[in-house]
Structure 1
Amino acid sequence: MTFASPVRRLLPVSDLLLFVVAMVWGSSYGVVKNALGFYPVLALIALRFGITFVLLSVNLRHLRRVDLKTLMGVLTCGLLLLAIFLAETFGVMLTRAANAAFLISLCVVMTPLVEWAMLRRKPGATEWLAVAVSLGGAWLLAGDGAFSFNPGDALILVAAVLRALSVCVTKRVMRASPLPALTVTAVQAGVVASGSALLAFFFVPSQWQPLPSFAGHGAFWGSVMYLVIACTLFAFFAQNYAIGRSSPTRVSLLMGSEPAFGALFASVWLGEHVSATGWIGGGLIVLASLMATVPWRGWFAARSGLANRST
């Protein structure tokens, strides 16, 4: 028996996938920033999720065997995701990145409350402790507690509430229906793509611009493909898969490490400065994820058992 075997039992695949998703989404900020240099916000969202929808459309066949209640639940998941993207994107345009990083991390605090109210599951003491550690880390990462509220902050706060609500609603839908995670992801992508396209068409027609050509715009199309394949196809499938197999609070804590990975990516790839306090805050966020995810008693028991068998 190898050490990897108990590790795989103690760390479910869904948890490992969410860590990877947090890393991928942490890198997405710089990629989106690069793509927005070529194409407007709403049009980019419609393009990103439109391509995703086309690639996943074959999975829509599973909708034929669901009832109207389930279908409405899946569509609600898509509308929540659309609202999250709109609130986050326009919120970031109107506030400091530090404010946004702290406020979006508040979804980690709100998720246990929403889960308690919606799903009647009371989070455990370890989860509450992890939430507190994550909140403290986000506060440090946001810039030594410097904070001033503005309209952009209000939008980011709305996005944080919607994230918490979205995880719990998706959990309820996945628990009550036999739909594969890819089918739910396909519906979400279709709703976000069509919703952002309709908003641009009716309210901001200047957002519709000709697509950059493939020749001479490799950086843009490379960014789009990364956003589609890694940040949307893989990330939303992994998130929906994990939600169906874990609690919303656990999922939220794992996803809450996203700002820490975003700071690391910005420092290494974009050359942005992160203070020592920021690194401590990012470390606390990752620690909070580990606190909520790894069953430490089982971990040490597994290691102790292996040590005894090796002697």
Structure 2
Amino acid sequence: MGTGIKWGVGLATPGLFLLCTDGSLSFNVGDILGAICGACVALHLLYTSHFARHADSDVYLLTTLQLSVVGLLSLASAQVRGQEVFVWHPELLWTLVVCVLIATIFAFLVQTTMQKWISPAHTALIFCTEPVFAAAYAYYAADERLGVLGLLGAVLILAGMVVSELLPDGAESETSVSVAAEG
């Protein structure tokens, strides 16, 4: 992991803590479930990066497999709990189309494609901006306010993103320097 990524993660991690908890050290079941979810997302990023980087990998097939597995496991989970799965609400058609085509299929296809070139750590830092934009939208749509610590957390996350992009990564910068010297 390069210097830029280390600094980016070093800034974004406490930023995420401050943004999501406002500095409070009290945790509940939802926080624990959120931490487990974060670990699962980290594994997803690592495995997606690994499989997307294979020279013969087909990102369309990989994305299809990812979404199919999640769909089948979700269907099985709903069936085990006795939940209705296929309920038609015609008034939600366009919402469903947007959520399925753009927010799921397109988003996962772009993520899988880009992970051929972007490291899992860079991808995770990009994902860390999601709560920042969610907080900004909550301010816009519901007039929610962040406290000082929440705002500091958002700034740290954004700073982590910028630092990870601007600071050179050790091996990559050494390679580019040696290539420039040879040229």
TM-score tier after normalising by the smaller chain length: 0.7 to 0.9
CA distance in 1, matches of 2:10, 2:144: 27
RMSD: 2.0
Give, in angstroms, the shift of residue 134 of structure 1. 0.3
Rate the CA distance shift 1:291–1:240 in 2: closer, same or farther, 3 A.
Answer: same
In the alignment, structure 1 segments of 5+ residues that lack a partner are 1-122, 297-311
1:204 aligned to 78, 81, 87, which one?
A: 81
Q: 2:18 touches 2:149 (CA, 8 Å); kept in 1?
A: yes
**Seq. identity, %:** 25
CA distance in 1, matches of 2:44, 2:83: 30
TM-score, normalised to structure 2, is 0.81
Query: Counterpart in 2 of 1:125?
Result: 3
Query: Counterpart in 1 of 2:46?
Result: 168
In the alignment, structure 2 segments of 5+ residues that lack a partner are 169-183
Rate the CA distance shift 1:209–1:178 in 2: closer, same or farther, 3 A.
Answer: closer
Moved over 4 A (4+): none
Give, in angstroms, the shift of residue 239 of structure 1. 1.0
Confirm whether residue 186 of structure 1 aligns to residue 58 of structure 2: no
Aligned with 1:235: secondary structure?
Answer: helix
CA distance in 2, matches of 1:282, 1:174: 30
AA in 2 matched with 1:205: G
CA distance in 2, matches of 1:243, 1:200: 31
Q: 2:52 touches 2:116 (CA, 8 Å); kept in 1?
A: yes
What number of residue pairs does the alignment pair up?
168
Give, in angstroms, the shift of residue 200 of structure 1. 1.0
Rate the CA distance shift 1:144–1:151 in 2: closer, same or farther, 3 A.
Answer: closer
TM-score, normalised to structure 1, is 0.50
CA distance in 1, matches of 2:113, 2:165: 16
Confirm whether residue 237 of structure 1 aligns to residue 109 of structure 2: yes
Give, in angstroms, the shift of residue 229 of structure 1. 2.5
Give, in angstroms, the shift of residue 236 of structure 1. 0.7
RCO higher in structure (CA 8 A, sep ≥6): 2
AA in 1 matched with 2:61: T
CA distance in 1, matches of 2:161, 2:64: 28
CA distance in 1, matches of 2:47, 2:85: 32
Query: Counterpart in 2 of 1:112?
Result: none
Give, in angstroms, the shift of residue 207 of structure 1. 3.8
